[in-house]
Structure 1
């Protein structure tokens, strides 16, 4: 396929397949797993998930489908067993890509005229073009994000879950091994002009090795997501954000 269609055209074909597979897989997350993922992100009130917005709910579902904590099985594997696609089909390639998707840190460089977003892995700087129509929305070049990428074809990197905006505060906590916090959460935007601070944090080889070890180890996605939540980078958190700092209903 790669020799006959542009990357933009191939992305347009895979995007609805990805959406369908993730939606169907999310329906196969057992309640016990939903509860475990939501508890890990402090988005569980004892009976149900209590996200403040769709991005927070997407983070819970992303873990349940692709990378659960608490010893639960992956819903994407349940989906594969329940509705196995035709071998060699686009559906099959997309399903396999989702099952092999990895969570990492990426610095967004900006949209490309031909489509996709130019980016680089952080901190090693490996270039990658990420296909996601909403990735740069409201984000400036240089923004650091945590995202899970799937490759249905070798040259086609697609997001499969929410892309979480980060900054040097989050990276510092990851490097220090700061445990999850339980205190109040105040909504916060990523620090502006944060590039120099990020580079200082990973200037030493030991820091780069530490991040690589975290990325390749278990639980990296939940670690990054929880760090962003604790810093307020994912907005207000019901039960942790003081009432006066909560957004108005319907906002």
Structure 2
């Protein structure tokens, strides 16, 4: 792609390609894989996925496409075989980036005037500009998220899945190795102004090394997502949230 284009212009080109590829790949997830991902997130009612909102449903499909549990193959690989892109095209670069994308934790520092969001990785503190037009919506500077980044070009980091809101409680559970919970889920928001608590948790080199090792291990995405679900950070969960705390049905 022309080097004369700004990062914002290149993002505008790649964004619909990313959306199309992920949508098409999601259609290639076998039902057995869908069930495995939903069970891992406690979003399966025995017959079908049972999410409370679109974000929860997207989390199930994100795993099935890019990082499935249960020994299932990735739907993004089926997409490559079924509809290989033209060599050298933006589609090929985006598809290759999706196949190599990695899930990680990031703190958002704020929106840039020229586009993109300034962020740093957690626990490493490496700076990165993340391109996602919705990333800072409802999130204050310093917010912690878990998301998967794809790099279709060396200087263009794009989200390629849900961005999960987290806080120091989630990081503490990850560091302690807290197993998945089965009890009630009460919806709650991430802790506000949580940076100091997060920094205390990661003050020790051993804690940073453990979190870094976890982030590189298989299954980190589902571990983080399930932790957020158990804490109520992804909202009400059908079958786990008491009826009085469930959102009213859509009109």
The whole-number CA distance in structure 2 between the counterparts of 1:249 and 1:144 is: 30
Shift of 1:124: 1.4
SS in 2 for 1:49: coil
Q: Structure 2: state its 5+ residue gaps.
A: none
Name the counterpart of 1:108: 108
Q: How does 1:93-242 map to 2 (within 5 A)?
A: 93-242=93-242
Shift of 1:180: 0.0
Per-residue CA distance 1:145-199 (angstroms, 9 max, x = gap): 0000000000000000000000000000000000000000000100011001000
Name the counterpart of 2:66: 66
Does the C-alpha gap of structure 1 residues 202 and 10 become closer, same or farther in structure 2, counting only changes over 3 Å?
Answer: same
- The answer to whether 1:75 aligns with 2:80 is no
CA RMSD in angstroms, aligned pairs only: 0.7
The whole-number CA distance in structure 2 between the counterparts of 1:246 and 1:79 is: 36
Does the C-alpha gap of structure 1 residues 36 and 238 become closer, same or farther in structure 2, counting only changes over 3 Å?
Answer: same
Per-residue CA distance 1:27-86 (angstroms, 9 max, x = gap): 000000000000000000000000000000000000000000000000000000000001
- What's the TM-score once normalised by structure 1's chain length? 0.99
The whole-number CA distance in structure 2 between the counterparts of 1:204 and 1:87 is: 47
- The answer to whether 1:92 aligns with 2:92 is yes
Give the number of equivalent residue pairs: 251
Worse overlay, 27-36 or 120-129:
120-129
Name the counterpart of 1:15: 15
The whole-number CA distance in structure 2 between the counterparts of 1:161 and 1:22 is: 9
- The answer to whether 1:246 aligns with 2:246 is yes
Q: Structure 1: state its 5+ residue gaps.
A: none
The whole-number CA distance in structure 1 between the counterparts of 2:132 and 2:196 is: 27
The whole-number CA distance in structure 1 between the counterparts of 2:134 and 2:175 is: 29
Shift of 1:2: 5.3
SS in 1 for 2:190: coil
